[in-house]
């Protein structure tokens, strides 16, 4: 017996009028939204119970009917092969949004206070400009292009991507391509001397992968870059890291870092 295909496909405008498409859990209103905003084809994946899109999704005008956002979020998106744009609306989180986007993802100009529920992997650019985000928790852990977060009252970079191929851009701090690493963060601190150093240092210190083991391995793998750690060592914004790191460093390395930090006259901002 031939096994039933777990994916039921619907081309644009093929859904029957006046009722729910056979074999799906989608309402008439949800099918109308898909048919209006998908450029390509969409299909209900019976294994994931989510809608996969072959093509692009564009939503750039605000919902104005009562409950329309909930209807949209109830669709539940899975994988999108192209771009997914949901700008200029009133979303407060990304529940029900795609889990993976092979193109770019843009959720700018909403009312987002959280990135929870959004995609974990973006193969091109990720944009969340002009929202109400104080951190990036719930955002993608891997971005193959650029990450844009302008216009948000960020107090933390917790939730920032672990893997970022190109640049990261926000109101307070930018990291160009090739700078999403420890040396790039140190350079950002140096450049911040003439800006808002305390806030920028606070942001950098919240990077989720800037932890004790990361710093310890960095010292072991890059002994010639120990001065970078020395200039980072005594600033109050990273005091917690310093205290934890002192517990795991061998005495010789810890002594060298402390000596360098005491000789850091080249870095007056850190006094």
**185-214: pLDDT as tens digits:** 777 777 776 667 778 877 877 876 666 676
Residue 177 in domain: no
Final residue before a domain boundary, out of 123, 142, 171: 171
- On whether both 155 and 189 belong to a single domain, the answer is no
Residue 261 in domain: yes
Average pLDDT, the chain: 80
Q: Is the pLDDT of residue 9 over 50?
A: no
The residue-averaged pLDDT of 243-261 equals 73
Is the sign of the CA dihedral 49, 50, 53, 58 positive or negative? positive
- On whether both 125 and 161 belong to a single domain, the answer is yes
- On whether both 84 and 21 belong to a single domain, the answer is yes
- On whether both 195 and 140 belong to a single domain, the answer is no
* 132 close to 114: Cβ distance less than 8 angstroms: no
* 140 close to 116: Cβ distance less than 8 angstroms: no
Q: What is the pTM of this model?
A: 0.76
Residue 176 in domain: no
How many domains are there within the chain?
2
Residue 148 in domain: yes
- The residue range of the domain holding 204 is 183-271
- On whether both 87 and 199 belong to a single domain, the answer is no
Cα 73 to Cα 9, 11, 43, 244, distances in angstroms: 20, 21, 16, 42
Final residue before a domain boundary, out of 149, 171, 193: 171
The residue-averaged pLDDT of 235-242 equals 63
- On whether both 163 and 246 belong to a single domain, the answer is no
- On whether both 198 and 167 belong to a single domain, the answer is no
Residue 135 in domain: yes
Residue 7 in domain: yes
Final residue before a domain boundary, out of 171, 204, 239: 171
Residue 178 in domain: no
Residue 264 in domain: yes
- On whether both 191 and 259 belong to a single domain, the answer is yes
pLDDT band of residue 232 (cuts 50, 70, 90) is low
Q: Is the pLDDT of residue 23 over 90?
A: no
């Amino acid at each position: 017996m031939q096994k039933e295909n777990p994916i039921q496909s619907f081309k644009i405008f093929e859904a029957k009028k006046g009722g729910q498409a056979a074999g799906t859990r989608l309402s008439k209103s949800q099918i109308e939204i898909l048919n209006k905003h998908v450029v390509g084809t969409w299909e209900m994946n019976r294994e994931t119970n989510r809608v996969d899109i072959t093509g692009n999704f564009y939503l750039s005008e605000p919902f104005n009917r009562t409950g329309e956002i909930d209807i949209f979020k109830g669709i539940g998106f899975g994988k999108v092969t192209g771009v997914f744009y949901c700008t200029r609306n009133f979303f407060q989180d990304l529940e029900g949004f795609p889990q993976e986007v092979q193109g770019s993802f843009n959720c700018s100009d909403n009312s987002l206070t959280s990135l929870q529920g959004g995609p974990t992997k973006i193969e091109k650019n990720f944009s969340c400009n002009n929202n109400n985000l104080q951190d990036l928790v719930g955002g993608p852990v891997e971005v193959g292009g650029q990450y844009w977060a302008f216009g948000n009252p960020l107090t933390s970079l917790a939730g920032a991507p672990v893997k970022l191929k190109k640049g990261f851009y926000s109101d307070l701090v930018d990291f160009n391509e090739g700078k999403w690493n420890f040396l790039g963060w140190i350079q950002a601190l140096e450049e911040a001397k003439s800006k808002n150093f305390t806030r920028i240092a606070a942001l950098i210190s919240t990077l989720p992968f800037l932890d004790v083991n990361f710093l310890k391995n960095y010292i072991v793998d890059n002994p010639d870059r120990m001065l970078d750690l020395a200039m980072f060592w005594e600033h109050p914004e990273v005091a917690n890291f310093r205290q934890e790191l002192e517990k795991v460093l061998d005495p010789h390395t810890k002594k060298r870092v402390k000596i360098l930090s005491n000789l850091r006259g080249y870095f007056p901002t850190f006094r």
